[in-house]
Structure 1
Amino acid sequence: MTAGAYAQGSVRFGVKAGANLNKLDGKGYKDGFNFNYHLGPYVQLNFSDRFGIQPELIFSQSTAKSGEQFSDIYPDGKDLKNIKLNYLSIPILANIGLGGEHFKLQVGPQYGIAVSKDKTLFENGKDAFKSGDFSAVAGLWLDLPFGLNVSGRYIIGLSNISDLPEEEKWHNQAIQLGVGYTF
């Protein structure tokens, strides 16, 4: 009976959390990834055992350390050393089965909405960052017993998040490692 119901498609809900290793790429930032976190719910819309769609609503934190050239690009930000941006990210991922129903390739777009900026950044640099970020996502998902799962993905920002009139471009990048539970 379960196999017959699955062949017609299924809808499953879940939650996930994990590490968010991110960096802001561009002039004025120190190179290297910073450790943060992400968490939120997801829905799996399975059309078959080999293909489905997985929309998510993920809160993720991004931090960066400004470099020596940051004040050259943004003079009002001369006192900004640690930059923290919080995003509400909405990835819409295709789940593509790889050799079985438990191991999946995930690819798709993601839109991130800046929901808060730390107080220093808001007071001194609220005009430095755009309120949205469009990215591409690729990763792997493994279903484990008892509704558990693990995932890893790479997110590359496609849009410039700098809202400064300068020609310098800033892009988000992240590696997310997560664990989740599907109901």
Structure 2
Amino acid sequence: MKKLFIGVAFAGSLFINAQEKTKSSSPITFGVKAGLNASTISRSDDRYYESGDHNDEDKLKVGFQAGVFVNIPVAEKFSIQPELLFSQLGSKVEETYSYYSSNYGFKSNFEYKANLNYLTLPVMVQYNILPQLYVEAGPEFGYLLGGKIKGDDTRTTIKGNSTTISKESYSEDLPMDLYRRFNFGIGIGAGYYFTQNFGVTARFTAGISNIMKETDYKMRNNAFQVGVAYKFK
């Protein structure tokens, strides 16, 4: 993780140096951005179990994103903005499984977070409604760097008149052999610059590709992103 942040900082310094060497008359601008992700993983299957009762719920997981961008005007109101970002995606899941017979039963409550760390390359086409206000849309390409799965498992067991409760916490590296390295999505968003340099951004990215290998169903990354941006002018 430390090497990743050093790499992003190095890329940012390259952009800053390139911007300083660019003539003042050039319309191309460089910048940095950072913010929060509210992400989840959508599934295309209906989960079915032969016995017992099972419920699960995917909730938004908060992560962060940060990186650099270059804005390239191509027409009076249109520009193209490639970005290079470190982005934390994934999902928070609450899952309950229970089974009961005449004198025995148990209930398991799982709460865990799947943290997926991506290096992403969004390429946004922006349209300036006003000089300081724009809307955007475009593809996003991602490369999975790794991640973690962390959670708690609370189990209640009933045997006759006896009830026991146990709790176990776990943390493990993401099983990379089960996930696809490359990810593809489509983003739409908007931004507003309060000054020539400083602005706020908002974007929703919908996953298109399946993030899992060899499954009968599809799992896709989805994220709503908000943040701030700074252009070097």
Structures share a fold, TM > 0.5? Answer: yes
> Which residue identity lines up with residue 113 of structure 2 in the other structure?
N
**Of 188, 194, 210, which aligns to 1:160?**
210
2: CA distance, partners of 1:127 / 1:30: 25
Which portions of structure 1, spanning 4 or more consecutive aligned residues, are displaced by more than 6 angstroms? none
2: CA distance, partners of 1:49 / 1:140: 18
2:230 alignment partner in structure 1: 181
Give 1 or 2 for the bigger CA radius of gyration.
2
2: CA distance, partners of 1:31 / 1:37: 19
TM-score (norm 1): 0.81
Q: CA deviation at 1:61?
A: 0.6
Tell me, yes or no, if the aligned pair for 2:70 and 2:81 is still in contact at 8 Å. yes
Identity %: 28
Q: Secondary structure at the match of 1:30?
A: strand
Pair 1:47-2:74 in alignment = yes
**Of 168, 182, 185, which aligns to 1:132?**
182
Q: Secondary structure at the match of 1:57?
A: strand
> Which residue identity lines up with residue 31 of structure 1 in the other structure?
D
1: CA distance, partners of 2:85 / 2:180: 19
TM-score (norm 2): 0.65
1:11 alignment partner in structure 2: 28
Q: Secondary structure at the match of 1:130?
A: coil
Structure 1 residues 52-96: Cα deviation after superposition (integer angstroms, max 9, x where no partner): 100000101123234549xxxxxxxxx993211100110000011
Report the aligned-residue RMSD. 2.5
Larger RCO, structures 1/2 (Cα 8 Å, 6+ apart): 1
Tell me, yes or no, if the aligned pair for 1:30 and 1:64 is still in contact at 8 Å. no
Decide which structure has greater strand share.
2
Change beyond 3 A, Cα 1:161–1:80: farther
Q: Structure 1: which 5+ runs fail to align? A: 70-78
Change beyond 3 A, Cα 1:32–1:61: same
Q: Residues 96-107 of structure 1 correspond to what in structure 2 (within 5 A)?
A: 96-98=127-129, 100-107=130-137
Tell me, yes or no, if the aligned pair for 1:80 and 1:120 is still in contact at 8 Å. no
